[in-house]
Structure 1
Amino acid sequence: MEVLFNKWLMSLLITCMIFSKNEASEEAGTKHPIHLSVTEINHNAQDKTLEISCKIFTDDFEKVLAQNYRTKVDLTNPPDKAAMEKLVNDYVQKHLSVKADGKPAAFTALGFEKDQDVVYSYFQVDNVASVKSIGITNTLMYDLFDDQISLMHITVGGKRKSGKLDYPAKETIFSF
C-alpha cells in the first residue's frame, strides 16, 4: 500500500513540476524538455457518466494540430473559437479511445480551455452506470513526438489508479 501511494505521489509531483510555469525557462527562451500528456477519467456514478479531460502543452498541441489539419492554429487567442474546438475535438477523438467493460465508449465533446502553458480538453461518456474495467488506447501526440509520455489517472468508486504509456506503447487496461 505504501509503495502504491509513493508511486502515486511521485507521479503527481512530476506532473506538477512539468506543468508548472517555469519563469527561468521562459526568460531564457527555452521550451519544456519533455513531451507529456495527462488524461484523467472519472466515473460519476450519480450522473452515470465518464468525465474525461486531456492536458497537453499548448505549443505542442498547436504544432500537431497545424501539421495534421494544415491550417493556422491559435489556442490562446482563437479568432474562431468554434473552428479551434472542432480541431481539438476531432484530434483527441481520433487519438484517444476508451472502452468501459470492453464496450467502446462514445465521447461527447464539452470544449477546451487554456491555462498557462497547457490546454485542457473535456469530454463526457453518457450511460455508464457502473465500471469494472476501463481500457484506453492513447496515441495523443504520437504523430509528432517519438518520446511522448502519456500519463493516465482513472478514478472509479473513489479508487484512483494511474498508469503511464511510453511511445510506442498505446494500450492499457485498468481494473476496479
Structure 2
Amino acid sequence: MKIKYIIGILLLCWIVCSSFTPHKYYVAVTQMDLVPQKKRVEITSRIFIDDFEKALTKKFKQKPNITTSNELPEAEEWIKQYITEKIKVSINNKLQRIEYLAKEIDGDVIIIYTKIAISKKINTFEIYNSLLTETFQEQQNIVHTNINGNKKSFLMTNTKFNEKIDY
C-alpha cells in the first residue's frame, strides 16, 4: 500500500511539474491549389491569432486587435501588406501578384484567403514563405500544394524560405 501511495505522489508531481514547462509550437499552414476552371491558384493560410498579432504589432508598432470589436481600421490593410510581403509565388519564373480576398476567424486561428490569377500552363512553381519568422525563431511554415494534379508538401523555416517545383 505504501509503494502505491509513493508512486501515486510521484506521478502527480511529474504531471504538475510538466504542465509548467513552456513548450510552444510556432506553426502556420498554407494550402495552394490550382483551380483551372477559375483560372487561378487559391491560397489559404492558417495562422494562430496570437502569433499573427505579435508579428503585426512588431511590424506596425500598434496592436491590430483583429479578433475583437476594437479592431483597428487599418488592420485589414496591414494583413494584406504583411501576407504579400511574406508569401511570394513565381510561376514559370515570373513573380505573380497575390490578391487578398478575405479573412475568417476559426477559434484561435485566422484563415487568410488570397489568390493568383493565371492564364498559362504552369511549368514551374516557386514558393517563398517567411510567415512569422521575423518574430519567432522556431517558426515553421508547412506548405501544401496541389498544382497540375501533383500534390507536394514542404516545411519552411527561418533558414529555408524557398521551394521550386518543376512540372
**Structure 1 length as normaliser, TM-score?**
0.77
Conservation of the 8 A alpha-carbon contact between 2:64 and 2:72: no
Deviation, 1:114, is 1.1
Cα deviation, 1:30-83, whole Å, max 9, x if unaligned, reads: 987211111111111111101111111110001110111011221212434752
Conservation of the 8 A alpha-carbon contact between 1:45 and 1:129: no
Match runs of 1:5-154 below 5 Å: 33-80=24-71, 83-154=74-145
Q: Alpha carbons of 1:123 and 1:29: their partners in 2 closer, same or farther (altered >3 Å)?
A: farther
**Matched length:** 149
Deviation, 1:101, is 1.4
Conservation of the 8 A alpha-carbon contact between 2:140 and 2:156: yes
Conservation of the 8 A alpha-carbon contact between 1:78 and 1:84: no
Paired residue secondary structure (1:46): helix
Q: Structure 1 CA distance, aligned partners of 2:71 and 2:24? A: 30
Q: Structure 1 CA distance, aligned partners of 2:105 and 2:22? A: 17
Query: Percent of counterpart pairs with the same letter?
Result: 25
Q: Structure 2 CA distance, aligned partners of 1:58 and 1:134? A: 28
Conservation of the 8 A alpha-carbon contact between 1:40 and 1:53: yes
Report what 1:18 is aligned to. none
Conservation of the 8 A alpha-carbon contact between 2:43 and 2:115: yes
Cα deviation, 1:99-137, whole Å, max 9, x if unaligned, reads: 011111101110111111111111111134421221011
1:142 is matched by which residue type in structure 2? T
Conservation of the 8 A alpha-carbon contact between 1:49 and 1:129: no
Conservation of the 8 A alpha-carbon contact between 2:65 and 2:72: no
2:47 is matched by which residue type in structure 1? I
Q: Structure 1 CA distance, aligned partners of 2:108 and 2:81? A: 21
Structure 2: tracts of 5 or more residues without a match = 1-18
Conservation of the 8 A alpha-carbon contact between 1:75 and 1:114: no
Deviation, 1:87, is 1.1
Q: Structure 1 CA distance, aligned partners of 2:107 and 2:95? A: 33
Question: What is the Cα-based RMSD across aligned positions, in Å?
Answer: 2.0
